[in-house]
A and B are shown apart, each in its own frame.
Chain A
Amino acid sequence: MKLRHLTGYAAGQPLKDQALEGRQFSTRATTAFLIILLAIFLLSLRYFYLQIISFEEFTARSINNQVRIVPVAPNRGLIYDRRGRPIAKNLPAYRLELIPEKVDDLEQTIAALGRFIELPDDAGEKFEENRKRYNVFDSVPLKFNLTEEEVARFAVDRHRFTGVDVVSYLARYYPYGDLLTHVLGYVGRLDVDDLKRVDEGNYRGTTHIGKSGIERYYEDVLHGASGVEKIETNSQGRILTTLERINPVHGDDLVLSLDVLVQQAAWNALGDRPGAVVAIDPNDGSVLAMVSKPAFDPNLFVHGISSKDYRAILNAPGRPLFNRTLLGGYEPGSTIKPFVGLAGLELDVITVESQVFSTGQYYLPGVSRPYRDWKKGGHGRVNILGALEQSVNTYFYQLAYDLGIDRFHDYLAQFGFGEPTGLDLLGENSGVLPSRGWKRGRFSEPWYPGETVIAGIGQGFNVVTPIQLANALATLVNGGTRLKPRLLYAAKHAGNEQADKVQAPVALQVPIVDPLNWDLIKSGMRLVVHGEKGTARSIRPESGFEIAGKSGTAQVAAQAANEDMDESTATHLRHHALFIAYAPYDQPSIVVAAVVEHGGGGSREAAPVARAVIDAWLSQELAR
């Protein structure tokens, strides 16, 4: 029993032949060992194949794994005003990036990140759209401009998020906010449409691009040249070391011809009325101020504007998104009179002696409908000087009628009416300088003489933009040299010590028949401010310098000719007030065109705006 227990054999079973079993076992064990040898041999063969035969291939892939070529975005060029005040800066900021390939569940990760960092509802969709332009394993931005609190909160839980990282970068900032929006424009998130207009290779690491204004017009020089970096990363894509680096070339720094103080003066002078002011130096075509009001804060757009903020801007009164200086089409009204007068003198239709008797009503032969003067009972007998000083409509009715629409059109066209000025911003409106051809094309109708008459006082079909008006006056003031106005004053290329001055290109030289004719018009404009009966006597400076100008009123609603505007007229039906001016009279360094929408009379409402701009400019010029 004891034996059976110890050997494990059941009762009745024959005792086994241990020697035979031992031999059998040895055979099997040997067979097994041979199979093992074969298996080890095959396995070794496999390792030989991988490590010796495919060595090169896998070495290359292993290097590829850890070394990545990443683009390095250049720093965007800074923008200054003409006195060197920074108006577009780059400030250090943080953004959240993630590598989609390293993230198991994108949706869930974005939702989880939302607990640390405020993300818009459509962050996921935006991200999906945005990531299309990135390579596999590239880090794609998810949220810009993190607050310090968000950065700190994320840092604590960073280990939980594979493939997600906070990256520092330089964010665009516009210190003057809405003051310069319509000039500078803004940068925004680079999207697929933007890529069509740039060299994609140079924008690999770039996240923002100029969307409007100067930022857009000079995008190619502001952006700079992208660099590359050879970096070693771990499998999480975290950068370990930089192996090689080709530095990016930062974008050109731009100096604009704007003067922030002049801009500010125009902005303040407009108050809360919608309007536009353009000021140009007639000597070089540089733009000194360009205000369109209301405006909006461009900084909102840099980090992706929320739909709430965007709706607020869209629904705000006065259309803040609308750039009135370039796109606003206004009837020039009486501001066109100096140009019409010059046409009359240069084309020998009138002389300084030519006089017209203003009775308050002007009739075309055979037409019973009167064309009115703004002053009941008329201005009496006036020549061109008096006609400008008092803005006598009858004088210009007669002059326009005598010129005829063809000569009227051709002469005024030389001053740039009816075409974009060629300013260095996109989207300029051409306005309308009517002609027979234009009317036929537009309305399929012939030209009527009555239309010539009202064209003489800038009504009817005439449409100008504030920039056009300012540039036309600059042309008149500087002796007929029509320049394409420039906002860009100088550009400093990376590495250069000095900024290169930019010259405004000449669009056209208006032929001068007799310089005295030009002086005559200018002295007429001087009388507008300095004459006894000048319509803008109220803005006459006490001393120091003289201003020349011309007021204008643009009709908004068709109005019976005998109906006068007064304070009781509803604001939105009131006429737009216009004023053009230049100063100093003897040696002009600034021309201004000001429009106050629904302001009513040009002299009363727009002239003080022009005056404020001139003061701001001249006080700085004198201080130099």
Chain B
Amino acid sequence: MRRIIPGWVKWPQLDIPLLTGLLLLMSFGLIVLYSASGESMDVVYRQATRLGVGLAALLILSQVPPHIFRIWTPWIYALGIVLLLATWAVGVGRGAERWLDLGLLRFQPSEIMKLAVPMMTAWYLHPRRLPPEPMSILVSCAILIVPAVLIARQPDLGTALLVAVSGGFALFLSGLQWRIILGMLALAAAAAPAFWMVMHEYQRNRVRTFLDPESDPLGSGWNIIQSKIAVGSGGLTGKGWLNGTQSRLEFIPERHTDFILAVLSEELGLLGVLVLFAIYLFIVGRGLYIASLARSTYARLLAGSLSLTFFVYVLVNAGMVSGLLPVVGVPLPLVSYGGTSIVTLLAGFGILMSVYGHRNFIR
């Protein structure tokens, strides 16, 4: 007991390789953003400010030992649920009631859930026998499905899925039996038609467009087609930084936010894309490695699922930009210009850093 308490007062170490990977990614992102924003230093400054705020959050959280997170987990989760319910009543925003206006800042409660759901799942599984027993699986599923449904009703399907998946990863890493995993996937596939029924019309249109973008090349297919043209015309080495015609001439929609990867692909080519993928791969791999160093179930599961979720962002965004997946509003993590997701993501890495820094302390 005496050994534990002085332990977390000590200045914790940061994982230099992970930090290097993140800084590399952020610098790369800022360079691409400068071009994607039409050479707007203003946009770059604002993005850099956000990254700075995110890094501050990372440093602060890295000093909090994992078990403190664990103790706070149920409260954070409960707060998230309350805020989600609050958006129903007082939400602001165009069409989708995702935003909560707290006077000084407007933020999306769903962002909290991106951290709270894997935390809560890990918190629940932490004391239990692993691989999880049927009862544990059911409760875990409830933990991730309730917020996912609330977010989906906002409606924000992309975030809802990401939130559910992040909880699912915790479950997966806890050793969930393969037959149950396969069974769940089969069930999800079978439920797809029912899912279609409850989707909003604009969401259905996105899926339709994804299946056949050329059916409405000037309407909803426009984004996918223009994005693919941008990527494809980039070739091996790209048209050169600041020289992408698709982006400069504003053919790429949302070019500095969700479709920034199209700008990168056009200007830096396949080589640029592969470098980016390599950085992501390194970050995710390092994250999983840190998770495996953790001494507690909670820390392990949380660190692992945060790393995997981070990768899902990359996968979904890169799939969307290249026309492999339907257009869902998922940013390219730490590269896309955008508000709260950067802070949330870096906060997640703060937790990873904390796990790394406290790897030698037992519980």
Contact = CB atoms under 8 A, between A and B. Distances in A.
A26 interface: yes
B218 A101 contact: yes
A369 interface: no
Contacts of B129: 14, 16
B297 A65 contact: no
Interface in B143-182: 169, 172-175
B249 interface: yes
B358 interface: no
Interface residues of B, number: 63
B130 interface: yes
Contact of A66 (B1, B245, B292): B245
Contacts of A50: 228, 231-232, 265, 322-323
Given A28-B173, A51-B269, A9 B229 contact: no
Interface string B203-229: 000000000000000100000001011
Contacts, number: 162
B126 A8 contact: yes
Nearest to A48: B270
Interface in A39-95: 39-40, 43-44, 46-48, 50-52, 54-55, 57-59, 61-63, 65-66
Contacts of B304: 25, 28-29, 32
B118 to A, nearest CB: 14
A6 interface: yes
Of B229, B250, B301, which is in contact with the most chain A CB atoms at under 10 Å from its CB?
A: B229
A236 to B, nearest CB: 7
Interface stretch (A206-214, A227-235, A413-421): A227-235
A51 B249 contact: no
Interface in B52-106: 67, 70-71
A545 interface: no
Interface residues on A, range: 35 or more
Contacts of A232: 249
A66 B235 contact: no
B335 to A, nearest CB: 15
A8 B249 CA distance: 57
Interface string B297-324: 1101100100010010001001100111
Interface of B: 1, 4, 67, 70-71, 123, 126-131, 169, 172-175, 218, 226, 228-236, 245-246, 248-251, 265, 269-270, 273-274, 277, 280-281, 284-285, 288, 291-292, 295-298, 300-301, 304, 308, 311, 315, 318-319, 322-324, 363
29 contacts: A7-B296, A8-B71, A10-B127, A21-B130, A24-B131, A25-B174, A25-B304, A29-B173, A29-B292, A36-B308, A39-B311, A40-B277, A40-B280, A44-B274, A47-B231, A47-B273, A50-B231, A50-B265, A51-B236, A58-B228, A62-B229, A62-B230, A62-B246, A63-B245, A65-B226, A66-B249, A234-B248, A235-B249, A235-B250
Interface of A: 2-3, 5-10, 13-14, 16, 18, 21-22, 24-26, 28-29, 32-33, 36-37, 39-40, 43-44, 46-48, 50-52, 54-55, 57-59, 61-63, 65-66, 101, 136, 232-236, 240
Given A25-B292, A43-B315, A55-B235, 11 more contacts: A8-B70, A8-B126, A14-B129, A28-B175, A29-B173, A32-B172, A32-B173, A32-B288, A51-B269, A54-B232, A240-B249
